[in-house]
Structure 1
Amino acid sequence: MKTLKSRRSTATLQPDIMPVLSAGRHRSPRSGACFMEFASFLAGERWSDHPSCTHAGLAHMARAVNDLTSNEGRSALAPLIPSVIGLTTDDPRLDLIIAVTAASAAIPIASIDRQHALAVGALVCQDALERAGGSAPIDVDGPLREALDAAPEAEAWARRFLDRNVRWRRAEISARQTHVTIAMSVDGVRSACAPFPDERLYALLESTIALSAEFVAREQEQAGTAEAAASSPAAPFTASAPPVSEPTARAQGDFSRHV
């Protein structure tokens, strides 16, 4: 039987047993795996809950959903793991888009105290997205407007707060601050006075993965168009998942054999 040390010397980590999804961080596959640790394993990366194969904002949400989902419901998240592999971008707008859309999902159902904080976070991220320049490839204004219409008191409170604290609205927003809004949104969805919290968390993560895939696909399409502009007309964009890389295809194949 191979030791864990010898297995680490291979290109892909292949433990004797598949890790089991559980909350928190884990030292090795033998002690379990959170959502992103499992993704690092499938991608052939070093064991980590912060693998490079997934955008940081999406990974932050995946960890939060994993930890707040019940032990009974967590296994349902497993089929989503391969779909986060390869969803990466250096565009800082994706963090903001994930934060605003997550807050938009949480605001209508969150408790009133969480609604206040979520409305502030969403409006700050929306403003930062507008200041980032260019048209956002994903519409966040419509869903946020609907969410705030469902919680008018929270919107009024948030706007009064921001009027008194202009620096909150105009300051540069770091990825860490954006991730706070994402974490609050996941917590707001989980703790809402509504049935089926595990199903709500699953839907939030699933929709965020789809949003991230569309963002990355648009970015790749635009990059390809720029390269081909001098020699051929650009092909029309169709909203679809980004091309499957060799590591992603390998991970999906490995995962399907074990689940």
Structure 2
Amino acid sequence: MPVPDLMPVLSRGKHRNPRSGACFMEFASYLAGEAWTDHPTCTHPLLASLARMVNDCTSDTARSRLVPLIPSVIGLRGDDPRVRLLIAVRAATSALSVTSAEHQHALAVGILNCERHLAGDTGELPEGLALRIREAFDEAPEAERWARDFIASMGSWSRSKFTDRTAETIIRVAVQGIAEACTPNPDDRLYELLAGSIDDCVGVLGRTATSRKAPEQPAAAAEAPTKAAQPRVRESVDARG
């Protein structure tokens, strides 16, 4: 593949090559030296899925802020089942207080599901995680009550499995809920969700976090997309890039 004159510019969607722009994970594949793709092998699939969703739901003017996070996802791989749980619970707790009532119910159930699997036989959670869950529920008490009543009515719920598909659904609802929320700074919330999830993955997968420093590039490459870029779209989340 020919080396482009400039580093790729982050924009929404999937791109054929670096010259036409890049989504977050395409940029990661480029930096990792992999073939150009939005599904590189250098990153855990669910973290990559979250990164694509955040990329697509962040506004054009704020998307360049994500660039320094890209090197941090490279090399975050592994099959520890806690990864999917931690990403899902962070997404759900980040969105719970700002999303619609319908989404709140689904996310509250998702939080309790993640909590049960993460606590395991001991019934205990790390202090920081337990506090984050408690704070999220304190901001949406009706959603917590609804979720606990719903779970109590599901006799077989305690035996349900938590799969990648379960996590993907929670993440999608959360990111879309943040993107559509009537909140002053949805871009900030999306950024913190992705940055926090990267830190969670580093903690579980056991490698030292890489520096969140933007790669060396001409200044123009880090600027917001040009007029040719697509406008901000919040109606749905495109997990493909």
**Where on the TM-score scale, by shorter chain, does this alignment land: which range?**
0.7 to 0.9
Structure of higher RCO (CA pairs closer than 8 Å, 6+ residues apart): 2
Gapped regions of structure 1 (runs ≥ 5): 8-13, 221-240
Q: Distance in 2 between matches of 1:94 and 1:176?
A: 13
For residues 178 and 81 of structure 2, the distance between their equivalents in structure 1, rounded to whole angstroms, comes to: 24
- The structure in which a higher percent of residues are helix is 1
User: Within 5 A, what are the aligned runs for 1:99-248?
Assistant: 99-131=88-120, 139-217=128-206, 241-242=208-209
Task: Tell me, in whole angstroms, the C-alpha distance in 2 between the residues paired with 1:128 and 1:188.
Answer: 24
> For the residues of structure 2 that align with 1:164 and 1:196, how far apart are their CA atoms?
37
Letter in 1 for 2:32: A
C-alpha distance in structure 1 between counterparts of 2:123 and 2:188, whole Å: 35
Q: Aligned match of 1:34 in 2, 13, 23?
A: 23
Cα deviation, 1:118-140, whole Å, max 9, x if unaligned, reads 10111112222234889767842
Instruction: Flag structure 2 segments of 5+ consecutive residues without an equivalent.
Output: 223-241
AA matched with 2:130: D
User: Aligned in 2, Cα 1:34/1:167: closer, same or farther, shift over 3 Å?
Assistant: farther
Rounded Cα–Cα distance in structure 2 between residues aligned with 1:128 and 1:64:
25
Q: Which residue of 2 aligns with 1:57?
A: 46
3-state DSSP class of the match of 2:136? helix
CA RMSD, 1 decimal: 2.5
Q: Take 1:134 and 1:123, find their aligned partners in 2: how far apart are those partners?
A: 12
CA distance in 1, matches of 2:144, 2:117: 17
Higher Cα Rg, which structure: 1
TM-score relative to the length of structure 2:
0.81
- Does structure 2 conserve the Cα–Cα contact (< 8 Å) formed by 1:137 and 1:215? no
Identity across matched positions, percent: 49
Give the TM-score, by structure 1 length.
Answer: 0.75
